[in-house]
Structure 1
Amino acid sequence: MNAVMTGPPVITGWSAVSPHGIGADAFAEGVRAQRPTLAPVDTERWNVPHSRAHLVPGFEVREVLGKKGTRSMDRVTGLAVAAVGSLLDRPGAQRETETGERAALVLATTTGSAASMMDFTRSSLVGARPYDVDPAVMPNAVMNCAAGQCAIWYGIKGPNTTLAGGRAAGLLSLNYAIRLLSTGRADTVLCAAAEEYSHARYWLERHSRGPEAPGAALGEGAAVMLVRPASAATPERPALAEILAVRSRVATGSRVRATLEACVRSALEAAGVGAGQVWAASPSDAPGLLGHLERDVLTEVCGAAAVDRVPAVGRIGDVSAASAQFQIATLLATAADDTTAAGGIALVTSADRDGSLACAVLRLAGPR
């Protein structure tokens, strides 16, 4: 029987593979303790100069997921598959409704795996013949590989979508999930995001960032939320937050500040709440001036207390396309321990250097 959308969709579960470890409990504990995750990287393994990053500790694809089906799996796919698995294996999971024909998966990313794309192209250029490549690696060079592998591993047979939108991709994927539910295309949507650390991403970021943030440390990980109609919530999978509104805009240069503020106020208006009702506001912590501007806008609209309510997502590094999912995970982990969060309004914003801006408004359920 198909679930019916009679009100705002809800988040009924979440999990993460993050620099705090694997699973929702590891992430929540790291957020509570505000444990630092920045550490030196193995420069020989990653082919980078002396550097530090926020890596998932001890994450090796074949050790975490096993040897079957992982021989040629790249890192971003392994992170996504592990995150989805950690959600579906949590207590209260209902595989019969969270997978299968009526379950969809939406994955936010920047480019998929830049390392896989570059390595595969390089092997064609440096080999004796252009076709002297490993065919098993070819799927990794396709942007939607991670989403497809998640569906194959767990039997998610509904719509399968990859959204490439940089730092705004997480909120764009959330809006896409809402549309799948509201149009009856799915009863359950696993709304995920993944970003890997790699030599390719390191060098791309190093050469494309502006001079104001040359040394911002990269982070990696994957996070996933279970989004369903409110009527589908159960005691085992209760509603953790209502998704009241998601709005997006595009602006560059001097127009970013005013456009981002307009986006935030538009989302609040669509949600039917006022700025004074915001319990917590979470910016995406873009490196450099853009991140400062985003934080300034939220402080002006919602107040400093709301912006300081939860730990900044930047504490786990620049996780780019996975930022919004980690912001929401941080909000849910914080709200689970705070009685003042019950019924509170939370804002999540994203600002990408290419001009994409987005804002989501949630109503938190608070402690359970």
Structure 2
Amino acid sequence: MTTLTQGRDTGTGTGTGRPVITAWSAVSPYGIGRGAYAEGLRERRGTVTGLGPEHGPTPDGVGCVVPGFGVREVLGRKGTRSMDRVTGLAVTAAGALLDDAERNRAVGTGEGAAFALGTTTGSAQSMMDFTRDSLTGDQPFFVDPARFPNTVMNCAAGQSAIWYRLKGPNATIAGGRTAGLHALNYARRLLGSGRARTVLCGAAEEFSPARAWLEHHCADGTAAAPPLGEGCAMLLVEPHAPDDPGQPVLAEVLAVELGVVLHGDTRPALVACLRSALRRAGVAPDRVTAVARSGAPGREGRGEAEAVREVLGAADAADVTPTTLIGDTGAAAAAFQAAALLSYAADRPAGPVGRVGVITSVDRSGSVGCALLGLR
């Protein structure tokens, strides 16, 4: 049994038709930028690596981390003294998108430019470090006040807005692996209600000892989990403007459906989401040309795979799930899946008209969801 939270695919208040994705970028275990991520996926290059002492003690000593990423090395020394890793990843990804084309910064910043970021808790490492300092210091208040903002889950979104002058609504949405879908749905609603002109929409997750040990102790032990990954993927979402020949439409957001598992079985909940999304978008299953699953470990992942087979099994769609290559990126997973679909479509510009990509996501918290993208 599932309880579904569904939104209507209505026209936007500042444009016509469904919203579209016009740009994207990523900070991933392949490096910084859209090109690095697309090339890594194209080559099917794995990113698992042994971890150095800078990553701290972890259960297995391996992970899929952004190579050579240091906040101050990448963003400079000004304004980064107390910035934690997940904030640095989000700020870097937003900057990479805005700098990728002159148009991106023109439409993606300033008045009416919103920011929606998916997360799980923000930075578990920052929370634990701050709490530890309050317990081990000579006095509980002998902590670094500059690091307190890192303990709040909306720190990364707030810093991104400050860095790039994003003056529209600013939201952080917690949802585990489905967080990126929640952020995309929120972006769709902001545009549909006319509360934003454009939305920078994405999700971020950091690799840290705290997260590694939390995941280690939460594992159900029934299946080998992929190594942990990290990064941030960012999309520029805006109303479709058919009269604007300069709008570089990469994909149309056809539908986003979110659900909740009530009795422990992921498969029927995701089946309901997929069928509802296809119905709302007016898309037959045989039009689906690519699917990107979250690739969650354990029973959730098995339920996800079964649901995709049940609803889309006859579609013979390409599997572009990135988890086996970049690891379990947690809250950033759905955003990286969207980027994988966009990269797949860009490599096949001569594909059939009307092709559709599907994102599916499940989380052990009981959250499930899917999105349909009309790929150009």
TM-score range, shorter chain: over 0.9
Encode CA deviations 1:159-194: one digit per residue, 9 max, x unaligned.
000001111111011000000000010010000110
CA RMSD of aligned residues (A): 1.8
Report what 2:37 is aligned to.
27
Report what 2:212 is aligned to.
202
Encode CA deviations 1:218-270: one digit per residue, 9 max, x unaligned.
00000000000001885554110000111111114453211210110001001
1:50 offset after TM fit, Å?
A: 4.0
Question: d(CA) in 2 for partners of 1:233 and 1:69?
Answer: 41
What's the secondary structure of 1:340's corresponding residue? coil
**Matched-pair contact (CA < 8 Å) for 1:279–1:341:** no
1:315 offset after TM fit, Å?
A: 1.9
Question: d(CA) in 2 for partners of 1:233 and 1:175?
Answer: 25
Matches within 5 A, 1:232-311: 237-303=247-313, 306-311=316-321
Report what 2:57 is aligned to.
47
**Matched-pair contact (CA < 8 Å) for 2:110–2:167:** yes
Matches within 5 A, 1:1-368: 4-43=14-53, 45-213=55-223, 215-231=225-241, 237-303=247-313, 306-338=316-348, 339-340=350-351, 342-365=353-376
Question: d(CA) in 2 for partners of 1:218 and 1:129?
Answer: 35
1:48 offset after TM fit, Å?
A: 1.9
**Matched-pair contact (CA < 8 Å) for 1:108–1:162:** yes
TM-score (structure 2 length as normaliser): 0.93
1:104 offset after TM fit, Å?
A: 0.2
**Matched-pair contact (CA < 8 Å) for 1:115–1:198:** yes
TM-score (structure 1 length as normaliser): 0.94
The one-letter code matched in structure 2 to 1:129 is Q
**Matched-pair contact (CA < 8 Å) for 2:114–2:198:** yes
What's the secondary structure of 1:93's corresponding residue? helix
1:289 offset after TM fit, Å?
A: 2.3
Question: d(CA) in 1 for partners of 2:67 and 2:306?
Answer: 33
Question: d(CA) in 2 for partners of 1:32 and 1:73?
Answer: 33
The one-letter code matched in structure 1 to 2:312 is C
The one-letter code matched in structure 1 to 2:139 is R
Question: d(CA) in 1 for partners of 2:55 and 2:319?
Answer: 38
Could you list the structure 1 runs, at least 4 aligned residues long, displaced by more than 4 angstroms after superposition. Answer: 232-237, 304-307
1:361 offset after TM fit, Å?
A: 0.9
Structure 1: state its 5+ residue gaps: none
Question: d(CA) in 2 for partners of 1:364 and 1:305?
Answer: 16
Identity %: 55
